[in-house]
Amino acid sequence: MKINLSNYEIEVLLDLSSSITGIEAKSPQIKNYVIKNVLERMTETQHFDFKNYLNLIDKSDEEFKNFLSAVTIHTTGWFREDKHFTLLAQEIKNQYEKNNLRFVNILSVPCSTGQEVYSLAFVLKSLCNELLGLNFAINGFDIDYHSIKKCQNAVYSKTELANIPLEYRKYILNGRDEAKNFFAISREIREHCTFYNVDIRNINSYKDIIKIKNSEIENDSFNIILCRNLFIYFKPEVSNKISKNLYSLLKNNGYLCLGHSEKIEAQKHNLIHIGNSIYQKLLQDNLNISKNDDDIILYTLVDQNRIKPFIERVKKELKTFKIIESISNLKEFLENRKPKIIIIDKEYKTIELIHFLFNYLKTNKNVFIIESILYPLQKEIKNIDIFHESQIFKDFIDWRNFENQTSQTILYLKRILSSNESINPENNNKENKVIKHKEIKKKLENLLPNFIAIGASTGGTIALAELLKNMPPNFPPILIVQHLPHIFSKDFIEKIKKVSGLKFISPSERPLLKPGYIYMADGDNHIIVKGKEGQLRIEPDMSPPKNQLRPCIDFLFESLAKTKAKGVGILLTGMGNDGAHGLLKLIQNGSVTFTQNKESCVIYGMPKEAEALGASCFSGDLHEIRELLLNHIKVK
């Protein structure tokens, strides 16, 4: 029997469906989907009158569940948007190494029929096999009772098997005989996965249900929340409510993953968009960005249409971003405003610009000036004034691949804006410093160093120039890793050569380390040291980037520790934790180690991580470290 619904009945049906699931039937496809599925339920139950069917779902819990399932969208699949899994696995690995992360708690909402949960479980189980002591739990939420039941049963049609990569099929069990057309998920995967019937719009409904580690759920319970392709079905006010709920369940520094076509108001929810529809929750203190009208300015003469996607994205995420296209406009702007970041396009440097910026910094010491490449260079650009440029630029960034790196660029700029930069060292505990000076002097006087190894990142180019100016010609060999796009490395090497007065030999020649020389990566590679005391040899290493870094400080420091030769390790200003673990290995091997102190760092990240590990013999400003090196190191 064919059932026809009146326009009024259709309106009632869609309103009822929306009130129960939150899904807005704003498109003809969703509207037709809901009507078709409900008509099928009416036929199945032989309730051909719409009013009678409404009475049925009101009185029968079982039919209400069937109705709810009929009006719920069930779009899912194995390894859908698989780039998320790769990125999250890498982040877990980073946190494992950096912050001793050993348990990862994950929420998948809506989990639908379980394919997303089990896909992620496959990835994490393989990661656990690689990272000793790592464990995880995945919680799946969905409003549909039938979907949750399918998740718990963990049995799927073999037609879906083609979407599961071969490396993960060791975690599935193939059916036999009457079940030959199905496969099941193995117990070693299922034991990590739990599913709950939950309405994500009601935070109390899942706070009352979920228990983690035998205690009621806390506001920061999940390291990762996947909520993909949900918001596209909801009204903005409902989406905002769900976003708020999810934020309250996310750990500090945790990640919220949305579908590729979804966006939320990140700043409203204290999140930072780091790319690929992934948002990170940072502590409020880390988001305390200054309120200047123009915190960031970019000086470039490039045709803005050539970098339009970059500009649009940056302006959307950073409201305080402004482009200036002439020196006269730059001078006028800086007379009236005090931006925190100035970005200079390498292609349009002039001697007038360099001298102006050098003089500007004399009275505006806290501005962070970056040299960058925004577009493929039309010609080779050489330094105009090495001495002044070495005093001006605190970092060098290659942004030519901005379509793939825009998110990282924005996160980098936000971190600089939120940093408490100070270039004036403070001495709040002079008595304690005197004691530490005596201790470190004694260590240095008992050491005949085979090397001075230095690692630096954000702000390091100026720090290194200050630390190494006018070095003695017989000073122990100095090995440097500065996080720097390799296109800038040769220019930077020339700066350090001129400032320090030392010679340079490329690691590509695999030379023995000699006093009076500096050694740095001059290509897209790591640098490592091999050999033994008295016969140390440096060479390039083409291993993949570690935590997206090449050269990597840890690579150098750890290679030096393996040689058993003793020397000096120094970790300067920079974001992240590169070098911290390597510095620890150096101190464990008998080397003397230094970290730049908080007051003098541009970004107090890497030194802080090293100090937390107990990897620093002495923390001081650049002047203190330099004085100790020059006056208390024995030379051969």
Residues designated catalytic: 457, 483, 578
Q: What is the H or E stretch that residue 369 is in?
A: strand 368-373
DSSP assignments along 337-351, one per residue: ---SEEEEEGGG--H
DSSP category for residue 14: H
What CA–CA distance (Å, rounded) separates 75 from 147? 11
DSSP 247-316: HHTEEEEEEEEE-TT----TGGGTEEEEETTEEEE--GGGG-----TTSEEEE--S-GGGGHHHHHHHHH
Residues facing 527 on adjacent strands: 540
How big is the chain, counted in residues?
636
Distance separating alpha carbons of residues 536 and 527, to the nearest angstrom: 13
Nearest residue to 407 (alpha-carbon basis) of 300, 275, 528, 504: 275
> Rounded to an integer, what distance in angstroms lies between the CA atom of residue 421 and that of residue 171?
50
d(CA 40, CA 552): 61
Question: How far apart, in Å, are the Cα atoms of 562 and each of 424, 552, 556?
Answer: 36, 16, 10
Count of CB atoms situated within 10 Å of the CB of 429: 10
Alpha helix (H) residue ranges in 102-227 = 115-130, 145-153, 187-190, 203-207
157-175 core/surface letters (b: 16 or more CB in 10 A; e: else): eeeeeeebeeebeebbeeb
